[in-house]
Amino acid sequence: MKILVCISKTPDTTAKIAFTDNNTKFSEAGVQFIINPYDEWYALVRALELKETQGATVHLITVGGADTEAVIRKALALGGDEAFRVNSDSQDSFYIASQIAEIAKQEQYDIIFTGKETIDYNGSSVGGMVAELLGLPFVSIASKLDVNGGTATLKREIEGGEEVVEVSLPLVLSAQKGMAEARIPNMRGIMAARTKPLKVVEPAAADSLTAIVSFELPPAKAGVKMIPADQVEELARLLHEEAKVI
């Protein structure tokens, strides 16, 4: 079995967010970057479990500049076998999906994992686009995956319950909480990651369908207004007229 895991570089959740160039670019000054948690904790770890139990080969891919290599090396330290870095800084989902699909066409993977979304843009679109470009089935927001021969059984949470899906390999899926338990790289893995193959490839010709016009921060939180417990009518009025939640 051959698996591809898509890896994104995202700001740490504790990072202070700011923008530059007239609010058109994210400011990376002083920001700690990490593997997107959905890619690491669920997609990558489940792929590594399949490597351990079924002898799968696990490849990694990221689309980004040289500054993403520390992130992809960490993914290798967790247990990936080799990695690709497509040398492009595009933020367009279709362009990124096109680069992943181009590598996947050449390598012929049985399973392609993405996290359910990235924690910076929350687009949740790349996995579906990759599947469409490859003509493969796509199962989104999967919380469990079992593989038996050429058949995958996946579980998804839906409104009011759960859905179980069976699909023949190859397939593309996006993983969410429940797919696997996070793991920490050990020293042996960190040392081995330094010598594992990381192939830098130039991007294939592809269209960018979107462009970022501007960013803006949410409005600052207002101060807390305390209402005495015996003024229920005033509380209701404020919730209706000012907060507009009732």
On whether residue 152 sits in a domain, the answer given is: yes
- Report the mean per-residue pLDDT for the chain: 93
Which pLDDT score, from 0 to 100, does residue 223 have?
79
**Helical spans, DSSP H, in 66-109:** 69-78, 93-107
Pairing mode, strands 2-6 and 25-26: unpaired
- Positive or negative, the Cα torsion across 195, 197, 203, 206? negative
On whether residue 90 sits in a domain, the answer given is: yes
On whether residue 231 sits in a domain, the answer given is: no
Which pLDDT score, from 0 to 100, does residue 137 have?
98
CATH of the domain at 56: 3.40.50.620
Mean pLDDT of 45-61: 96
Tokens coding 110: 């049985």
Mean pLDDT of 194-211: 93
| 153-163 confidence digits (pLDDT tens) | 999 998 899 99
Expressed as residue numbers, the domain containing 204 is 2-217
Q: How many domains does the chain have?
A: 1
Look at the chain and count its residues.
246
Query: Torsions phi, psi of 128, nearest 5?
Result: -65, -35
Q: What is the chain's Cα-based Rg?
A: 21
Integer Cα distance of 146 and 130 in angstroms: 21
Which pLDDT score, from 0 to 100, does residue 194 have?
81
Integer Cα distance of 57 and 59 in angstroms: 7
The angle subtended at Cα 78 by Cα 156 and Cα 152, nearest 5°, is: 30
Which pLDDT score, from 0 to 100, does residue 193 have?
82
What is the band of 41 on the pLDDT scale with cuts at 50, 70, 90? very high
On whether residue 239 sits in a domain, the answer given is: no
Mean pLDDT of 65-90: 94
| 71-81 confidence digits (pLDDT tens) | 999 999 999 99
Q: What is the DSSP letter of 90?
A: -
